[in-house]
Amino acid sequence: MTMTPLLRLGTRQSPLAMAQAVEARARLCAAHGWDESAVELVPVRASGDKVQDRPLADIGGKALWTKELDGWLHEGRIDAAVHSMKDVETLRPDWLAIGAILPREDVRDVLVGAASVQAIPQGARVGTSAPRRAAQMLHARPDCTVVLFRGNVATRLARLASGEAEVTLLAAAGLARLGETGVGTPLDADQWLPAPAQGAIGIECRADDAQVRDWLAAVDHAPSRHEVMAERALLAALGGTCHSPIAVLTRAEDEGLAMRAALFSADGAERIEGEARFAAGDASGPALLARDLLDRATPGIAALFEGAA
């Protein structure tokens, strides 16, 4: 007998988003002893999936990944929404709550098309739409040029295979969740700092929905939540936007967190870095690091951060 779903879980329609929603459902059902039919997956087509030929920052930023799901949540058409946390705007409406952060996957970027950054052919084209990846690559390899690559993992790999670029960069976590573990070369996260919240899946719900918040709390992974919320606190204090090249690596250390962050100018020519240690849950630690970075920012970097104003 098929039961009426207890929880309607909204998700974007891309293959990776659906894989993340399936993982979220599996964890919820395992935690509560539910049959799979207790959680209904509700696909929603996001604006960000409809427009593929322009940079995200030019057409509305990260809200393009969340606004349809936010609307469905607000209207009560779904009870919770699954997101890649790196795609969720730093400032969220106060009627929303991040009910759970699932155990974070590999935070690294994967280089596809060359064995290392140093081995990329001279003058190669790098396909990416991410300001961080573009600036980081141009900092390491100023001889390269960046061409716009948007779309899901399969689309970007197909564009690479068709010769639109020599190399591209993808998230190791996304590849792993799609079963594409043999693709490319993972880059050392200490040398090539990842994006804020990379590899983390979040589940949002209405802040006043006590029942759903209680269900989600059972799959919340505290170490991953501490890392992700610290990185989001850094973003908030920097005034980072979709145009802002920000790279950050956070690790658990001595019962607290150690954070390394770097900011770049858009062309990668300018780079500053800093680090901080603070207790888990302490948003002032990331804020102090942000202030230090902005105080040392060159004009080319400061122009990309609202917090530098």
Q: Is beta strand 271-279 parallel, antiparallel or unpaired with respect to 256-264? A: antiparallel
Q: Which of 49, 79, 87, 106 is catalytic?
A: 87
Domain containing residue 293: 233-308
Q: What is the pLDDT of residue 64?
A: 63
Same domain, 26 and 98: yes
Rounded Cα–Cα distance for residues 158 and 161 (Å)? 5
Q: What are the tens digits of pLDDT across the range 218-254? A: 999 999 999 999 999 999 999 987 789 999 999 999 8
Q: Are 245 and 263 in contact (CB under 8 A)?
A: yes
User: E strand or H helix at 121, and its extent?
Assistant: none
Looking up residue 279, the CATH number of its domain turns out to be 3.30.160.40
Residues 35, 65 within the same domain: yes
Residue 65 is predicted with a pLDDT of 62
> Is the pLDDT score of 61 beyond 70?
no
| CATH number for 134 | 3.40.190.10
175-201: pLDDT as tens digits: 999 998 889 999 999 999 999 999 999
pLDDT value at 308 more than 70:
no
pLDDT value for 182: 86
DSSP β-ladder status, 109-112 and 185-186? antiparallel
Shortest CA distance to 24 belongs to which of 105, 90, 88, 96? Answer: 105
Q: At residue 255, does pLDDT exceed 60? A: yes
Q: Residue 60's pLDDT is what?
A: 46
Residues 27, 8: contact at Cβ < 8 Å? Answer: no
Active site residue 106: no
Place of tokens 């991410």: 130
The pLDDT of residue 242: 75
pLDDT band at 124 (very low <50, low <70, confident <90, very high): very high
Residue 1, domain member (yes or no): no
Task: Indicate the range of 126-135, 235-244, 253-262, 276-285 predicted with least confidence.
Answer: 235-244
- Please report whether residue 24 resides in a domain: yes
Per-residue pLDDT, averaged over 254-262, amounts to 95
Name the β-bridge partners of 170: 110
User: The pTM is what?
Assistant: 0.91
Q: Are residues 215 and 82 in the same domain?
A: yes
Same domain, yes or no: 65 and 206 = yes
